[in-house]
Amino acid sequence: MKLQKPKGTADILPVESAKWQYLEEIARAVFKDYNYKEIRTPMFESYELFSRATGETSDIVTKEMYDFEDKGGRHIALRPEGTASAVRAYVENKLYAPEVLKPVKLWYNESMFRYERPQSGRLREFHQFGVECLGVKNAAIDVEIIAMADNYFRQLGISGISLHLNTLGDMSSRKAYREALIAYLTPFESELSEDSRRRLHENPLRVLDSKEPEDIKVVENAPSILDYLNEASQAYFEEVKTLLEALGVEYTVDSNMVRGLDYYNDTIFEFVVKLDGKELTVCGGGRYDGLVEYFDGPATPAFGFGLGIERLLLVAEAQEINFMEDETLDVYVAVMGNHANVEATKVVESLRAQAFQVERDFSNRKLPAQFKTADKLNAELIITLGDNEVQTGNVTVKNNKTRKEVKATLDEIYDSFSPIFEELYVEEEF
Ligand code: ATP
Ligand code: MG
């Protein structure tokens, strides 16, 4: 049997993984600047957590969930998104307690699972950076989080990502809009896709999120949520826009955007980029003030986003972002003959303990082949160890580029390699 990875999954091999590390490193630094702390939650949870959080009519629940019954008869699902888990953890660990500083600012970097049709930027196992901020309601939090994503793109040097902004208002605004939407859509019912005909009755806002061409045509002239906002919802949205403008973050209001999950209210947003002529959503999020209470916690306002790492990588690669791959090595130890194996083992371990990045030969190859490997690894220095060096305790350390050499004893190397390294390294700088 030929073993293959499951459809919609990917191996992230070296070179590629260096790019991931670069994206992760900068993300971590940005999250830190905004005082977010990492949370790690289980990869699987009870099915009900996600079905209740994202809504019974969402694509995630109706089509995309990886769920199964475990050996104990529990209905389990692989995590399709991060917010439900973060909220569950917030309630279960009582992060709402008064002694926990508010807002609670969390970030995560986790794989998500959705049974989708795999294509470019759409996998069955994919990865997200996410942030969730719980416990305080202030338009400045909405804007801080949007600005954080924007800042991250800028630090990566990615351009051309545009911010689409909308509001879903509060419950009463949404109720008024829902009625208007049903009134508008009902005459078109027969023209809608099968999914949307069902959604029309169960959750009409979902129709706006449809990707089916027949639905998109009908939705074009649908009433706008912006005309159904009550005063409070309107004022909140105005404040968000004012703060974005104060920071110089550009946006366009897209009143047909609803996002794929049911738990949002007020501000929602997406960062969208054109790739090969197609629109690609890299990051999306919004406010979800009802979810904590829905999971039996105290009423807790919250805001967050999810950012697809695979899609970000597609964009970064298309824009030829320099990933600063670290492909250098401090020292390569060339090893001649079996007798040198003990000493070589000790030398590389000692150098690594002294915080040098070191590789050696393990295959008893001829010296020229070993030197070629040192070149390939971009080694700064080479130490050659053979019977003679082991016997006398004297070795030559060579700069692989300038060819400058320094004589040293093994004891000196074990004791402190830094002076030798610096002598040869500085030489190369000038
Ligand atoms: P889409 O409309 O493209 O299906 P979504 O609304 O389902 O996206 P979210 O649930 O908001 O996506 O997830 C946040 C981000 O995660 C998306 O903006 C995207 O970058 C990424 N993402 C979502 N689904 C996938 C997937 N199947 N493969 C890769 N990345 C994904
Ligand atoms: Mg989706």
Query: Rounded to whole angstroms, how far apart are CA atoms 371 and 70?
Result: 54
Ligand 1 site, residue 308, Cβ cutoff 6 A: yes
CB neighbour list of residue 92: distance below 8 Å, 6 or more residues apart: none
Structural domain containing residue 70? 14-170+248-318
Pair (384, 310) in one structural domain: no
Tell me, yes or no, whether 46 and 136 share the same domain.
yes
Decide whether any atom of ligand 1 lies within 6 Å of the 122 Cβ: yes
> For residue 48, is pLDDT > 50?
yes
CA distance 29 to 250: 23
How far, in Å, is the centroid of ligand 1 from the Cα of 128? 9
* Ligand 2 centroid distance, CA of 59 (Å): 7
Let me know whether 117 and 261 are in one domain.
Answer: yes
- 186 with 154, same domain? no
Question: Is the pLDDT assigned to residue 181 strictly greater than 60?
Answer: yes
pLDDT reading at 185 higher than 60: yes
CA atoms of 94 and 177, how far apart (whole Å) = 35
192-247: per-residue pLDDT in tens? 999 899 989 888 998 998 889 999 999 999 999 999 999 999 999 999 999 999 99
User: What number is the average pLDDT over the span 163-170?
Assistant: 97
Q: Which residues are bridge partners to 130 per DSSP?
A: 108, 306
**Residue 55 falls inside a structural domain:** yes
How far apart are alpha carbons 352 and 131 in whole angstroms? Answer: 36
Q: Which of 109, 261, 311, 313 to mutate to test the pocket of ligand 1 (most atoms within 8 A of CB)?
A: 311
Total structural domains within the chain: 3
The answer on 145 and 49 residing in a single domain is yes
How far, CA to CA in Å, does 287 sit from each of 37, 87, 261?
19, 13, 11
At residue 326, the pLDDT reads 64
Per-residue pLDDT at 425 = 84
Query: What is the 122 CA–ligand 1 centroid distance (Å)?
Result: 7
Q: Are 164 and 270 in contact (CB under 8 A)?
A: yes
Distance CA 191, CA 12 (A): 43
Query: 301 with 289: CB under 8 angstroms?
Result: yes
Cβ-based neighbour number of residue 389 at 10 Å: 21
Atom of ligand 1 nearest to the CA of 118: 27
Residues 38 and 182 in one domain: no
Alpha carbons 228 and 255: distance in angstroms, whole number: 11
How far apart are the C-alpha atoms of 51 and 156, rounded to whole Å? 35
Place of tokens 């989080």: 145
Q: What is the pLDDT, as a whole number, of residue 428?
A: 47
Cβ of 210 closer than 6 Å to ligand 1, yes or no, is: no
The reply to whether 5 falls in a domain is: no
User: What is the atom index within ligand 1 of the atom nearest the CA of 116?
Assistant: 27
pLDDT confidence bin for 92, thresholds 50/70/90: very high
| Nearest ligand, measured from the Cα of 309 | 1
CA 370 – CA 331 distance, rounded (Å): 13
pLDDT at 324 over 80: no
Residue owning the nearest CA to atom 28 of ligand 1:
122
Question: Residue 340 above 90 pLDDT?
Answer: yes
Is the pLDDT assigned to residue 375 strictly greater than 80? yes
Query: With DSSP H G I counted as helix, E B as strand and the rest as coil, what are the percentages for the chain, rounded to 5?
Result: 45, 25, 35
Angle at 49 between CA 104 and CA 23, to 5 degrees: 55
Task: Give the per-residue pLDDT at 259.
Answer: 84
Specify whether 162 is located in the same domain as 276.
yes
Distance between Cα 260 and ligand 2 center (Å): 7
Residue 243 lies in a domain: no
| Feature table: binding site for L-histidine | 81-83, 114, 128, 132, 259, 263-264
- Domain membership of residue 6 (yes or no) is no
What lies within 8 Å, CB to CB, of 385 at 6+ separation is 333, 334, 335, 336, 340, 343, 344, 347, 395
pLDDT bin (cut points 50, 70, 90) of residue 325 is: low
Q: For residue 307, which atom of ligand 1 is closest to its CA?
A: 15
Q: Which atom of ligand 1 is nearest the CA belonging to 271?
A: 18
Query: 377-416 pLDDT, tens per residue?
Result: 999 999 999 999 999 999 999 999 999 999 999 999 999 9
Check whether residue 356 and residue 402 sit in a common domain.
yes
| Closest residue to atom 21 of ligand 1, CA basis | 308
**28 in any annotated domain:** yes
Indicate if the pLDDT at residue 187 is higher than 60: yes
The per-residue pLDDT for range 232-266, each reduced to its tens digit, is 999 999 999 999 999 999 999 999 898 877 789 99
Is 358 in the same domain as 298? no
27's enclosing H/E stretch is helix 16-33
Q: What distance in Å separates the CA atoms of residue 406 and residue 403, rounded to the nearest whole number?
A: 10
* Closest protein CA for atom 19 of ligand 1: 308
What type of residue sits at position 39? I
Q: For 6-28, what is each residue's pLDDT tens digit?
A: 999 999 999 899 999 999 999 99
**Would residue 206 count as lying in a domain?**
yes
**Which two three-digit tokens encode residue 134?**
């719980």
Whether 21 and 57 map to the same domain: the answer is yes
Is the pLDDT confidence value at 343 over 60? yes
Of 221, 187, 185, the C-alpha closest to 203 is 185
Query: Which 3 state secondary structure label does DSSP give 360?
Result: strand
- 272 SS3 class: strand
Domain annotation covers residue 241:
no
**d(C-alpha 379, C-alpha 371), whole Å:** 9
